[in-house]
Amino acid sequence: MTGNKRTKDFIITRELDFRPGDSICSDNFTKRFEKNGNRIFNTGLFISVNIVPSFADSNAVELNIVLEERFYSYPIPLIGLADRNFSEWWNQRGHDFSRLDWGVRFVQKNVRGRNETLRIRGEFGFNKKFEVDYTFPYINRTLKTGLSVYAGAILNRQVAYRTANHKLTYTEDSGFLRERYAAGVTIFRRNNYYVTHALSLYGYNNIISDTVARLNPNYFLDGRTSQFYPSLHYSFTKDHRDIQYYPLKGYYVDVDLETNGLGISPDINYSFIKLDIAKFTPLNSIHRNLFAAVGLRGKASTPDKQPFFNQRGLGYDKENISGYELYVIDGQHFVMTKMHLKWQLFKFNTRMSGIPIENFKNVPLALYFKLHADAGYVSNMYPIGNERFANHWLNGFGAGLDFATYYDFVIRFEYSINGAGETGFFINFKAGI
């Protein structure tokens, strides 16, 4: 191995499915080494990974693993949105710059060369946020069990206290209308290269002002102004994607189960199960630069009557249907599917000589033209004021461009049409599937 100036060798060899002395069928060399290179890359420690075979004779091969490490210590200036997404901020909030959150996030990756990560985040703009977490990927000799600890606080001067016609309705004050505090620990187990089990135990203390409770007594239910409860979360992940932040090949399965209150808190009794499945396929038989992707997501929760604060349908993060980015569709249960057809316009690495930091000089760039089609359904037992899209099948489709570059950065430009005939141009900063 060359290029791993900080990273310990065992962190790299942990990702390999072979060891010195193993026998490998020569017909599988290319695919086998590519797959192992992707595993090393998905640790998030390297900009580039190349496994180069050197044949000593007909029966022996020496492998040179050539690595280029990322920059591991960096403060990141933060400029974020107080709103759900860029489209809501631009279209519904008049792109008001006073609604920006600003601050700094300090990340120290690969602490001690063991892929441990320290994150400290502070935001001081429209909202206040203070978070710290530390992740130990391996705490045992077999390198299969890891641990993560977290503590954080989020203080909001503006709170969305209800939805009306699938739009969030806000109230604002000079003081903090909502305070959220959390702390917890996660233990995860990675028995093999693709499967991870994680079990989290968290404690939450959420507080709202009397104003919010008066505007919506169901915010925490029954006019409560606080929630104090434990939460237990389990996740099962099977990840066979080639590149995690923008995959083109492989598949992904994630199952999440969470229960809040655990029968000991009088403030909340809320549980859910979520499923996320995605398949990524190169269409080499048609064209070497053509790719397809399909995803399926679903959620079921209980009981039927849930606090507004905890209930989540579609409209948050990646759980939205194309063309409905400006809407929130609340509900206890949902199902959705996404389909993408991508044409790779270009993909290459370029070296930026003007950048003073060596780790940032090598810049991978890729651009894809995409056709997308989505469909989904949200079940809401209490859709008062939000009947338009709840309990109806929804669909959207369109076209766009996906731009991907280093350090897991993706930006999507999409023009979409939803089932109501509404059109729009939307910008997002995560992969669609």
Residue 25 has a pLDDT of 83
| CATH of the structural domain 9-69, one choice from 3.40.50.10800, 3.30.429.10, 3.30.1370.60, 3.10.20.310 | 3.10.20.310
Question: What architecture does CATH give domain 73-336?
Answer: Beta Barrel (2.40)
Q: Could you report how far apart the first and last alpha carbons of the chain are, in Å?
A: 34
Spatial CA neighbour of 282 closest among 21, 4, 34: 34
Residue 253 has a pLDDT of 98
Helix (H) or strand (E) holding 364: strand 362-379
Residue 221 has a pLDDT of 95
User: For each successive 10 residues of the chain (433 residues), what is the average pLDDT?
Assistant: 93 90 83 90 90 82 90 74 61 63 83 93 82 95 94 92 92 91 97 93 97 96 96 97 92 98 95 98 92 97 95 89 92 97 90 66 87 97 92 96 83 94 89 87
Strands (E), 33-177: 46-57, 60-69, 73-81, 100-111, 116-124, 127-136, 145-156, 158-164, 167-172
* Domains of the chain by residue range: 9-69, 73-336
